[in-house]
Amino acid sequence: MINFFIMMPPPEDIIRGLIPSIPQPSGDAGKGAYLVVASMVGTTVFSGLFIIRTTLVKEAGWTLVDYKKQRNDAAFSVVLMFVISAAIMAAAAGTLHAEGISLSKASQMVALLEPLAGPMAASIFAFGLIAAGVSSQIPNVLMLPWLLCDYTGAERNMTLGRYRILVFLISLLGLVVPIFEARPVLVMIVSQAFNAVILPATVACIFYLSNRKDLMKKYKSGWIANSIFGVIFLFSLFTSTVSIRGLWQMM
């Protein structure tokens, strides 16, 4: 946030940037605007968040009595995510975009921190990059075992051999970049764009379950909730189309 205020673009540029639009794709393969937009949606509205959050709420022992607490907790998380994402994009707009620089290497991102951190920018960025990777890896590798436990009604005991093997195999996917010498930025964009593709299926499943009277009883979704679901589903279809178009441009 401090870095954002130091390198903040002119207020009129920020206001113009709030108007939804898709910029012209650049010539660099894999850096098309459609793919970038889809990846930004994919990393923010990650389908796995629904799984992780509901699992944690269940393990916390929250019930309908704690609905207000859950709602406040969710609202705080969403606002914080919005502020952090906005600060990152605005800081990038005030540094790299202002100089006409596009990112193709992770090392270029160090420039975002230089106005605030100076010579320490590289060290801070390396530490942050590792922390971001580890924090994302934990829920990513646990998601499939958690789903299997939920589906079978089994206890979430991750020390069992079958779950350890499953987590190990999923962790090996992290070696794609060093083994195949892939570009980290490109891999990151493509992987997040795939999240946008599976988002419509996730929304559709939530819509189906929330409208099952035998499951939800008196808490079955009403017309207001279903209308919101419809808008979200249409938005997810749009982002999926954008993601597929971006992947096609890259290929």
142-170, pLDDT tens digit by residue? 888 888 888 888 888 888 888 899 989 88
Which pLDDT value is given to residue 18? 78
Which pLDDT value is given to residue 213? 92
> How many Å separate Cα 79 from the centre of its chain?
14
Residue 139 lies in a domain: no
75-131, pLDDT tens digit by residue? 998 899 888 888 877 777 777 677 776 666 666 677 667 777 777 877 887 888 788
Give the domain range for residue 215.
2-105+189-250
Residue type, 29: A
- The helix/strand/coil state of 221 is coil
Which pLDDT value is given to residue 29? 42
Confidence check: pLDDT of 138 > 70:
yes
Which pLDDT value is given to residue 86? 81
Residue 80 lies in a domain: yes
pTM of the model: 0.69
Return the H-helix or E-strand segment holding 226. Answer: helix 223-250
Residue 176 lies in a domain: no
Which pLDDT value is given to residue 104? 64
Which pLDDT value is given to residue 30? 43
CA distance 215 to 218: 9
Residue 116 lies in a domain: no
Residue 27 lies in a domain: yes
Residue 171 lies in a domain: no
Residue 30 lies in a domain: yes
Residue 196 lies in a domain: yes
Confidence check: pLDDT of 37 > 60:
yes
Residue type, 72: N
- What percent of the chain is predicted at pLDDT more than 70? 87
Structural domain count of the chain: 1
